[in-house]
Every structure is written in structure tokens, then in C-alpha cells.
């Protein structure tokens, strides 16, 4: 069975986010929107999916590859920004519909998450935040390995570090390779995407921290979307670029104001943490510990 996925174009309402990636490739709880839709289509029996990408198709290709991860054959096709759903159907589906998934799953505009028909994503930062909260309980799709719920409402990925004195208030999502400093408070209603570093004493609630982002010591984030050095208040829509790297900055290659000390991978930031201690939450969280050490701590 076949299906078409139509990517939304960049939305001015979430300009600070869509400047970083085309909307369907924006990370949301560790995966892209396109990936969530491919999981959904695979569960419906699709075998071939064509993704129509009017905006930055190369980012979609990078995010989904050839689809083999989901048992699909995926092709990403660049289309004009002006193309509409009505135009896409005859152009790509032709006249015979027998080999396509039944409507409405034969052609889907990815402006929402699967199973959340009323929850738009790109109308405002508040929509994006609300959708991430609604999705938190569903984001552990069957194809994801390792991420798990350590306590009700607290979902944690792999290869991170959570100290014993960290306060985690559900619901919250902590992605892969996330490092928390001593005394950090995370949640409620908070998502830390992959490769986030939060220094000691910081407090984050009702917020999303984007991937590869450093949150400095004692910083406080509420009602915010922080990604690299960009700080957005999702309630008011206000955004600013934080020029003090010790407060908020990017750890990725695309950083615009790189603090030199933070160019190293997060796990090399020795000034942030003391030598490794026994993992506080789960042995699965601490890859630097070998199996022998893990067994010793969790006998």
C-alpha cells in the first residue's frame, strides 16, 4: 500500500523555530514529525511513502533516509511551495486508487501529530508547546529503543546522567545524552531534547529545551522554548537571542555565538561535574559504566 505525506512550509508564527529546520524536520521529543507519521503509516500497512517537500527537502531526506528503519520505501520529492493538497493528489496518485491506503490516510498534510487531529502544531509557539505536551505519553513509539518511563510521567532516554539530587516533576521528557548538574529541577510539563546540558541549580518548568543546548548554572526557564541561544516565551510569543553563553547557548555545530569552552562534546565538560558516581536513576542511563560496574551498583 502507498501513501503521500505533504510537508508544511515554514510558518511565520513560529519563525524562530522554522528558521532552524523545516517544520516536518523539527525535533519533537527526540524524533521528527515526519518520523512519527511514518511510524503511523507503517502501522496502517503502508509499504511505500512519498513525502512531498516544498521547503528544504534535503532536511527531510536526512531525517528519514530511505525509510528502511520503519520497513518502508520512502522517497522525498521536492515540490513547489505553491502546490496544494488538491493539486498533489492527481499529480502523484493518478487515477487508480486501489494500491493506496484508504482516505484520509492516502494523503496527509503533516500539520499535526498522528492521532491528535485537533491539535495544530505551527499556528503559534503555544501550539507547538501544547502539542509536545499532548504527545509526551505517546512518543515512545514501537520503533524506539531505550527510552523508558522511570516513574509515572517521567520518560528518560539513553546515555545521559541524572544526579541523585535532581528533582524531576512529572510530566517531563528527558532525551538521549542529556546531562543534568547537581540540584537541577526539571518539570512539570518540560521536555529536554537530545544532547542537552543543564548546569547545577538550574530550574526548568513548562518549557522545551531544544537539542544541543546548554542551560547555565542557576538559570531559570519557565514558559519558554530555549534552543541554542534563542529564548522564546511561548505564551507571549516574544523571543530574544541571549548573548551570554554562560546562561544559554548552543552546543551544536550550527552555533552562532560559540562559547569556546563548550565546543567540546557535553560529556567532556569536566568543570560541570565531579567524577562519575553510581547512576542515580537507571543503569541504562549511564553508558560510560560497563556491564560489570553496572551489575556491581545494581546487585
Partner 1 sequence: MNIEIDRDTVRVTGLPALDRPTAEAFAEQVSAALPPRPETIEVDLAETGKVDCIGLGALVEVFDQAQRRNRAVTLRVIDPTPPARQLLELTRLHRIFPVVQRKKPEAAG
Contact positions vs partner 1 (CB under 8 A): 218-222, 224, 231, 233, 236-240, 242-244, 247-248
70 vs 214 by CB, closer to partner 1? 214
194 vs 179: CA distance, rounded Å: 10
88 vs 196 by CB, closer to partner 1? 196
Q: How far is the CB of 30 from partner 1 (least distance, A)?
A: 24
DSSP codes of every residue in 172-191: EEE-TT-EE-TT-EE-SSEE
Residue 213: count of CB within 10 angstroms of its CB: 25
119 vs 218 by CB, closer to partner 1? 218
Q: How far is the CB of 223 from partner 1 (least distance, A)?
A: 9
34 vs 247 by CB, closer to partner 1? 247
Q: How far is the CB of 244 from partner 1 (least distance, A)?
A: 4
Q: How far is the CB of 92 from partner 1 (least distance, A)?
A: 38
Determine how β-strand 172-174 pairs with β-strand 154-156.
parallel
221 vs 244: CA distance, rounded Å: 15
Q: How far is the CB of 219 from partner 1 (least distance, A)?
A: 6
**What SS3 class is residue 202?**
coil
93 vs 124 by CB, closer to partner 1? 124
Amino acid at each position: 500500500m502507498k501513501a503521500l505525506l505533504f510537508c508544511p512550509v515554514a510558518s511565520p508564527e513560529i519563525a524562530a523555530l522554522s528558521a532552524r529546520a523545516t517544520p516536518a524536520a523539527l525535533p519533537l521529543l527526540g524524533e521528527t514529525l515526519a518520523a512519527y507519521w511514518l511510524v503511523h503509516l507503517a502501522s496502517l500497512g503502508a509499504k511505500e511513502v512519498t513525502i512531498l517537500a516544498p521547503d528544504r527537502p534535503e532536511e527531510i531526506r536526512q531525517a528519514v533516509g530511505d525509510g528502511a528503519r520503519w520497513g518502508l520505501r520512502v522517497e522525498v520529492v521536492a515540490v513547489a511551495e505553491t502546490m496544494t493538497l488538491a493539486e498533489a493528489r492527481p499529480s502523484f496518485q493518478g487515477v487508480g486508487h486501489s494500491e493506496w491506503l484508504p482516505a484520509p490516510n492516502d494523503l496527509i498534510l503533516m500539520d499535526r501529530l498522528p492521532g491528535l487531529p485537533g491539535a495544530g502544531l505551527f499556528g503559534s509557539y503555544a501550539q507547538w508547546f501544547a502539542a509536545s505536551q499532548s504527545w509526551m505519553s505517546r512518543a515512545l513509539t514501537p520503533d524506539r529503543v531505550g527510552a523508558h518511563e522511570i516513574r509515572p510521567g517521567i520518560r528518560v532516554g539513553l546515555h545521559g546522567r541524572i544526579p541523585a539530587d535532581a528533582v524531576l516533576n512529572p510530566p517531563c521528557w528527558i532525551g538521549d545524552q542529556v546531562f543534568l548538574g547537581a540540584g537541577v529541577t526539571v518539570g512539570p510539563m518540560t521536555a529536554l531534547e537530545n544532547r542537552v546540558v543543564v548546569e547545577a541549580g538550574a530550574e526548568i518548568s513548562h518549557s522545551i529545551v531544544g537539542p544541543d543546548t546548554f542551560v547555565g548554572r542557576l538559570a531559570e526557564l519557565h514558559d519558554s522554548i530555549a534552543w541554542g541561544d534563542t529564548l522564546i516565551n511561548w505564551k507571549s510569543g516574544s523571543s530574544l537571542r541571549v548573548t551570554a553563553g554562560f546562561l544559554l547557548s548552543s552546543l551544536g555545530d550550527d552555533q552562532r555565538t560559540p562559547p569556546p569552552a563548550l565546543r567540546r562534546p557535553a560529556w567532556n565538560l569536566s568543570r560541570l561535574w565531579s567524577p562519575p558516581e553510581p547512576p542515580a536513576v537507571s543503569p541504562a542511563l549511564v553508558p560510560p559504566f560497563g556491564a560489570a560496574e553496572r551489575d556491581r551498583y545494581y546487585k
